[in-house]
Amino acid sequence: MSSLSDTRLDGRQIAGRRILLGISAGIAAYKSAQLARLLTQAGAEVRVVMTEGAQAFIAPLTLQALTGEAVRTSLLDPEAEAGMGHIELARWADTILIAPATADLMARLAMGLADDLLTTLCLASDADKVMAPAMNQAMWRHPATRRNAAQLADDGWRLLGPASGDQACGDVGPGRMLEPEAILEALLAPAPGVAIPPTDGDGDGDGDAAGLHLVITAGPTREPLDPVRYLSNHSSGKMGYALAAAAAALGARVTLISGPVALATPEGVERLDVETASEMHAAAQRLASECDLFIGCAAVADYRAESPADHKIKKREGEESLTLRLVKNPDIIAEVAARADRPFVVGFAAETRDLEAYARDKLARKGLDMIVANDVSQAGLGFGADDNAALLLWRDGEGESGEALPPQPKAALARAVIERALERRRAAATD
């Protein structure tokens, strides 16, 4: 991660911002003190609102000492209202940042409830809205939380993280709040539509993704056979996550639709966790019309069980074989590309032979604008590896030989792929 003394992190874009820091009832609330301190050090005006439960984890006085402002905790507090009424406070903020955001708070916000000061402010404010979810991994994976996260993203919230790893409850998995430094860095990424200076180093703005929304699918899908078994594949998600990180670094708003992987969410990236191809399909369809560029990097299972068993499938005495009936999954990227309001669409082709021919066929058959073809038969490259090489092919490029990107770390390859996709998209728009 960049250090706080980076030129990009010198407080330029934080100084003078009026940030309403919302804290809800999670153990990660102890990190909110550090976050408040970093924000004020960077020159922001910070006012803190805590939910009732948050006060069990961290004392309002701590936040008051760090921000120099009284902490608000109640909607019906005549004394506080006499100072700055809650509607005035909602108008005052240019950014509402909730860290940590618990599952309960996410549910209440997704429903548009206004049953305490923090939810009321969120509903009453036009500010840029950002949250860093934090909760137990099972709560984060629960379909209800996934629905709420998708709804909040739809409503314009930027979700930062959560990261994966050890949890306070002893579990391991997604649900850890991003570190305060990472939240600060993500705040520096532009809100959609806000321009930032070119970041590609050559100063001409090529590859600059400010103001664009990218949706990227990544990782494998899991297709349940019964409550304990599933069909899946070896995709690590590394390439898709590298693409998301590269796009965010170029200033894009990035939504990562991720299958189950053991990777931390790149900084500044909104992540929607899914398990099955059907869930990935639904999320992609929902986001397709509002994004500028869609990249299908997920290794989607081609088939799923026609009817997953409700109970664990038992071994049967005397039966040496078991027949599973599979049905085809939707082709997610082809459906995005077939929409009338389609974004620029980039697909991946992992092949073990006849790379170019198969990739060209996929490009045409799925209606893609560009395809990134990998030869996954090469040792040390592709699936699970840290390095990759690729052949880029694009629509209307039949006569051209494409562009070969040599073996390199996935982060560097991802950057090159994003830059080429942005160039091609720009060229297609001006044709």
Contact residues: ligand C5P, CB under 6 A: 217, 277, 296-298, 300, 329, 331-333, 347-349, 362
Q: How big is the CA angle at 321 (ends 318 and 326), to the nearest 5 degrees?
A: 145
Residue 129 in contact with residue 158, Cβ under 8 Å?
Answer: yes
Q: Which CB atom, from 130 or from 333, has the smaller least distance to ligand C5P?
A: 333
Of the candidates 30, 21, 46, 265, which has an alpha carbon nearest to the alpha carbon of residue 149?
265
Q: How big is the CA angle at 358 (ends 354 and 363), to the nearest 5 degrees?
A: 150
Tell me the pairing of strands 303-305 and 253-258: unpaired
Q: Which CB atom, from 271 or from 362, has the smaller least distance to ligand C5P?
A: 362
* Cβ 20 to ligand C5P shortest distance, Å: 39
* Cβ 2 to ligand C5P shortest distance, Å: 30
* Cβ 422 to ligand C5P shortest distance, Å: 18
User: In Å, how far from its chain's centre is CA 192?
Assistant: 14
User: How is residue 221 written in tokens?
Assistant: 């899908």
DSSP state of 329: P
Helix, strand, coil: what percent of the chain each, to 5? 35, 25, 40
Helix (H, G, I), strand (E, B) or coil at 350: strand
365: buried, middle or exposed (CB in 10 Å: 19+, 13-18, 0-12)? exposed
Angstrom distance (rounded) from CA 416 to CA 404: 11
User: How is residue 58 written in tokens?
Assistant: 């961290």
* Cβ 219 to ligand C5P shortest distance, Å: 10
Q: Which of 122, 169, 291, 297 is catalytic?
A: 169
* Cβ 342 to ligand C5P shortest distance, Å: 14
Dmax of the chain from CA atoms? 79
Residue 267 in contact with residue 1, Cβ under 8 Å?
Answer: yes
Tell me the pairing of strands 253-258 and 95-101: unpaired
CA dihedral 315, 321, 325, 330 (to 10 degrees): 90
Q: Which CB atom, from 30 or from 358, has the smaller least distance to ligand C5P?
A: 358
Place of tokens 């990249």: 295
Angstrom distance (rounded) from CA 49 to CA 71: 6
User: How is residue 99 written in tokens?
Assistant: 């860290």
User: How is residue 203 written in tokens?
Assistant: 């100063």
* Cβ 205 to ligand C5P shortest distance, Å: 28
Angstrom distance (rounded) from CA 47 to CA 319: 67
The reply to whether 169 belongs to the active site is: yes
Q: Which CB atom, from 67 or from 374, has the smaller least distance to ligand C5P?
A: 374
Of the candidates 31, 21, 30, which has an alpha carbon nearest to the alpha carbon of residue 56?
30
* Cβ 424 to ligand C5P shortest distance, Å: 16
Q: Which CB atom, from 92 or from 303, has the smaller least distance to ligand C5P?
A: 303
CA atoms 191, 194, 196, 199: torsion sign: positive
User: In Å, how far from its chain's centre is CA 30?
Assistant: 24
Q: Amino acid letter at 248?
A: A
* Cβ 40 to ligand C5P shortest distance, Å: 43
Q: Which CB atom, from 173 or from 296, has the smaller least distance to ligand C5P?
A: 296
* Cβ 335 to ligand C5P shortest distance, Å: 8
Q: Which CB atom, from 145 or from 374, has the smaller least distance to ligand C5P?
A: 374
Active-site positions read 169
